[in-house]
Chain A
């Protein structure tokens, strides 16, 4: 087994644990590269099926290419899609910096969906190497009734023994991609031929390395227009993946504050 086989096997194990132990369960699908890989891994785990709904918490501000991609693959892959709205920005904590405030809409939209469907498990495609705060996450991460992440009081997690819901109002965030790095994601996309929205590939010298809302995501300078070229570029780049995400950089602790409140 090479490193990708090993990552794949571990993610499949995690997805099967979630499917066995958490009901009802749903997977977040942001339409980005990571969540497409995650969806692909679910099809590997369940032999071509996705036996739970996929959720798109829609800020209404995604790129048109992303909405087209979503509708196409819901059809092609036979997905059970749950759509959720986000509240207007005026309803969000005004003390947050502007981009973080905008991103926090998604947290509120997600909370509404978790309650609406009484979800016990939510699968999300975050990775440790994306952002220092995410590096502290558990694979199965319990969230209390206000969906808060209690980073200082996380349960022990070792030997593949994961947290289960244990009291009222607790749901579990499941992170099957936690150990993957950005370059692993791309090498796996290449190996498996996983479809992606074409915003990731260079047009007129620009491409998106990470995709969020249109108003708070910016492209990077790049000529990489194929998966192989993106991989080659990543092997020499020294900037971080989320450099184009405005809300991470407004203040030293902006992203941590978002995550404690329930952001992904």
Chain B
């Protein structure tokens, strides 16, 4: 127990993340560590013993962590968790990160702020896929102190030679990642060897036990001596005073300092540091959340970086960045995101994927996409100059997250530095809206979306689309129709009916539809689009808001209708490559909606389509009230 008197000043806890391949013994290690260092509350041990007994097991230390029912039943830890822990007077927070592959996002959630890591490796099995993946992540998030715990040495009968063999292989792997290992500790978490007490079975090992090694981890070092970085979080107007608030990420600020404000470069003086229920403040340091007033009373924006004159960060609109990718679909060049960097938000487009890490051997290779849970280096093109500091371990800025149109975090991006515009690359910097899809949906009462209507010529696509458009418009929905003939008269006038041209036609239609849907419109696309591959392309371009509608009519019916006389012309050989006659139509296997147009009236079918669409896009009452 700590003997520190209540009022004593304490250092902040040091976060330590425990990572490693599934079944290499992370949870067991944590349970053992807490028990052997007297950090368990009363009742917890009895609870574990009882839980273990219920399941017919001997004492399972990992049950301490797997405290959620679902985990115990499946035997995997599903989410990271934080456990306060002390060694003597020193406070730590243990972050437990899951080894299960698809839970990388939970692992990063726990590990991102750790000061040190314990990488648990089964001494018999050596490094496995997740060992490499986690090591890669430790490198990307810049963890400076890595202790490798060579676990389960009891299963090797404490044999020095066999432990050393695995250790050499792991050391080589980590060296490749430029990770400097502080220490290798041979141990058995299950038996308690070299965890909190020295093992009686390994006379050959003279180094520190795990707890001794943890005690040697330096406390988080100060960022206070670096040049000032104060990102504006918000601006309040209380009474007659305008107050600028934010957290100091680096350096210190004093009343009277001159500060440069963001990219516009206005200079103002710090007139006061405001606070409530503290002694009057005249200075503040990195880590503090402050409130300041400025003289003259300029109004910065959220995201503006305040710094001292002559100590400006890097400024660039093309940035090279490392990336860990969290989305389940691969990342491709040309995709756009919001880059959230501290309190700032910028529109960025992936200009190039410069290399992707191959996880089998951790080498870097050229690739055209970043796979789910992959690691890469990419170049981002922003729509405006960004002020930033390249990420360095031990700092809290210079690392951003990529956010998709649905406000989901899809990647972590520690920034490397400005990127040169290489000759031959397209120096495009698409601009993006600051109005989110959700903002738009709330204002209109409905979401945007693309309803892609495919079917044979004469199936009734355009007719139904126009009838549904009228109905939806009457219900207050912002709706438009893109139909094949209209597109081919203008935007796609240069295209014919070859396979390549049809694909290009689909690509253009989908791109326009996406742009409209992003402004919040409901877009009905009426296009034969006979090939399933082309429709898949459209789905990829549009993304989540895409629905495939199959306008289904027998070819005989379509040919009998022949509203434009095209079947007749094709039969007569006057046009060639006509879908259904001498070009194939691949009907959708699993459309989101199938509309049979053989028997019902146009109005009935259009009504079905319109109610399907309103069901998909219209918001409920609760959300509308908020707008």
Chain A residues at the B interface, C-beta cutoff of 8 Å: 1-10, 12-13, 16-17, 19-20, 24, 40, 43-49, 115, 118, 120, 128-129, 132-133, 135-136, 138, 145, 151-152, 154-161, 163-169, 179, 181, 187, 190-192, 228, 231-232, 235-236, 238-240, 243, 252-253, 256
Contact = CB atoms under 8 A, between A and B. Distances in A.
B68 A1 contact: no
A243 B43 CA distance: 10
A166 B407 contact: yes
Given A138-B109, A161-B340, A238-B42, A20 B234 contact: yes
B502 to A, nearest CB: 35
Contact of A167 (B7, B111, B438): B438
Given A129-B84, A161-B401, A235 B1 contact: yes
A135 B287 contact: no
Given A20-B233, A47-B274, A128-B81, A3 B11 contact: yes
Contact of A9 (B41, B109, B287, B408): B287
Nearest to A158: B112
Contact of B285 (A1, A8, A47, A160): A1
A19 B289 CA distance: 15
B68 A48 contact: no
A239 B43 contact: yes
A239 B41 contact: yes
Interface string B589-627: 000000000000000000000000000000110110110
Contacts of A164: 407, 438
A185 to B, nearest CB: 13
Given A3-B11, A239-B42, A132 B288 contact: no
Contacts of A236: 1
22 contacts: A8-B289, A20-B233, A44-B277, A45-B245, A132-B81, A133-B68, A136-B80, A156-B105, A157-B409, A158-B113, A158-B412, A159-B112, A159-B401, A161-B403, A163-B407, A165-B438, A166-B408, A168-B620, A179-B93, A191-B7, A228-B6, A239-B43
Contacts of B623: 168-169
Contacts of A47: 236, 238, 243, 274-276, 291
Contact of B82 (A44, A128, A228, A238): A128
Given A45-B289, A158-B112, 16 more contacts: A1-B285, A12-B289, A16-B233, A47-B243, A47-B291, A118-B626, A129-B84, A156-B105, A156-B106, A156-B409, A159-B112, A161-B409, A168-B441, A235-B6, A236-B1, A238-B41
Give the most central of B6, B91, B326: most A CB within 10 Å: B6
B288 A2 contact: no
B69 A48 contact: no
B243 A13 contact: no
Contact of B438 (A2, A43, A166, A253): A166
Contacts of B302: 20
Interface in B95-140: 105-106, 108-109, 111-113
**7 nearest CB pairs, A to B:** A132-B67, A158-B112, A238-B42, A156-B105, A253-B69, A166-B407, A12-B289
Contacts of A179: 82, 93
A179 to B, nearest CB: 7
B83 interface: yes
A136 B288 contact: no
Contacts of A13: 233, 247, 289
B9 interface: yes
Interface in B6-58: 6-7, 9-13, 41-44, 51
Contacts of A5: 287-288
Contacts of A136: 68, 78-81
B399 A159 contact: yes
Contacts of B619: 168
Contacts of A190: 6-7
Interface string B381-415: 00000000000000010011101001111001000
Nearest to A2: B9
B70 interface: yes
A156 B108 contact: yes
A192 B277 CA distance: 8
Given A3-B10, A156-B106, A169 B408 contact: no
Interface in B259-292: 274-277, 285, 287-289, 291
Contact of A46 (B78, B80, B236, B342): B236
Interface range, B side: 35 or more
A6 to B, nearest CB: 4
A242 to B, nearest CB: 11
A37 B623 CA distance: 32
Contact of B245 (A8, A16, A129): A16
B2 interface: yes
Interface of B: 1-2, 6-7, 9-13, 41-44, 51, 67-70, 78-84, 91, 93, 105-106, 108-109, 111-113, 233-234, 236, 238, 243, 245, 247, 274-277, 285, 287-289, 291, 302, 326, 340, 342, 396, 399-401, 403, 406-409, 412, 438, 441, 619-620, 622-623, 625-626
A159 B412 contact: yes
B388 to A, nearest CB: 13
Nearest to A191: B7
A132 B82 CA distance: 10
Nearest to A1: B287
Given A16-B245, A151-B78, A253-B69, A135 B41 contact: no
Residue among B43, B44, B622 with max Cβ neighbours from chain A (10 Å): B622
Contact of B84 (A17, A145, A181): A181
Contact of B276 (A44, A129, A157): A44
Contacts of A10: 289
A157 B408 CA distance: 10
Contacts of A135: 67, 81-83
B507 to A, nearest CB: 28
Contact of B625 (A118, A132, A235): A118
Nearest to A230: B6
B68 A231 contact: no
A190 B5 CA distance: 13
Contacts of A181: 84
Nearest to A240: B41
Given A47-B243, A161-B340, A167-B438, A240 B622 contact: no
Contact of B622 (A169, A231, A252): A169
B12 A6 contact: yes
A169 B620 CA distance: 8
Contacts of A133: 67-68
A119 to B, nearest CB: 9
B401 A120 contact: no
A2 B219 CA distance: 12
Given A128-B82, A155-B408, A235-B2, A19 B238 contact: no
A252 B2 contact: no
A17 B276 contact: no
Nearest to A119: B626
A261 B399 CA distance: 35
A196 to B, nearest CB: 16
A159 B233 contact: no
Contact of A3 (B2, B91, B285, B401): B91
